[in-house]
């Protein structure tokens, strides 16, 4: 059975992630600032949750230092909302404020991505953010929306993915995204 590390960055949606991952893998949830390279590398895959903070208002240096393992691990990584933004910042993306987006939103996929396998080219996902990131170095833009340019990204050569939306609270399609991630591990 695959082992997935869920990194808790303070999201209230952690129980929803756990509930879905439990169907496909064993998992352990750990607070963000306790995760080291050695711990991350002991799992088959890593999910980084959302967080109740703004990357444009927070000093991100402690977060980037703590997450430096993202650039060296050979394990699959999925960032959700804040996790997506954190991955981007590790690869020199920049963050920006945008209007609040806190409802179901139509996402359009225009590049093949194993994370979105079995989803239609246009699908709805739950949003809960007021910031976005640019496309980071070494990443390819996979999907966008009218609200946000970078909804889904994937690393060009490694199994590192980011989604700005919240698959854990998006119903069936979101469930498929998390199942696909476990399959990639």
Give the strand pairing for 104-109 and 45-48.
unpaired
129 is annotated as an active-site residue: no
What pLDDT is stored for residue 102 in this prediction?
64
The tokens for 85 are: 């933004």
pTM of the model: 0.97
**Domain 3-184 belongs to what topology?**
Rossmann fold (3.40.50)
Which residue is associated with the tokens 């953010």? Answer: 129
Report which secondary-structure segment, H or E, holds 85.
helix 82-90
Among candidate residues 81, 90, 113, 148, the one labeled active-site is 81
**Parts of the chain with a pLDDT under 70:** 101-102
CA nearest to 107, candidates 135, 127, 133, 90 = 127
166 is annotated as an active-site residue: yes
What pLDDT is stored for residue 99 in this prediction?
78
CA nearest to 161, candidates 120, 109, 123, 126 = 109
Q: What is the mean pLDDT of the chain?
A: 96
81 is annotated as an active-site residue: yes
Among candidate residues 131, 147, 168, 179, the one labeled active-site is 168
């Amino acid at each position: 059975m695959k082992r997935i590390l869920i990194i808790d960055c303070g999201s209230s949606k952690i129980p929803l992630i756990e509930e879905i991952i439990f169907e496909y893998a064993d998992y352990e949830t750990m607070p963000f600032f306790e995760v080291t390279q050695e711990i991350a590398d002991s799992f088959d895959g890593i999910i980084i949750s959302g967080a109740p903070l703004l990357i444009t208002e927070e000093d991100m240096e402690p977060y980037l230092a703590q997450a430096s393992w993202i650039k060296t691990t050979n394990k699959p990584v999925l960032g959700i909302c804040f996790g997506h933004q954190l991955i981007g910042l590790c690869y020199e993306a920049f963050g920006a404020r945008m209007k609040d987006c806190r409802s179901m939103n139509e996402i359009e996929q225009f590049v093949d991505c194993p994370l979105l396998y079995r989803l239609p080219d246009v699908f709805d996902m739950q949003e809960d953010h007021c910031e976005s990131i640019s496309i980071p170095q070494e990443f390819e833009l996979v999907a966008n929306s009218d609200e946000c340019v970078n909804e889904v990204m994937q690393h060009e050569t490694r199994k590192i993915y980011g989604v700005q939306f919240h698959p854990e609270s998006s119903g069936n399609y979101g469930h498929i995204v998390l199942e696909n991630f476990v399959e990639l591990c």
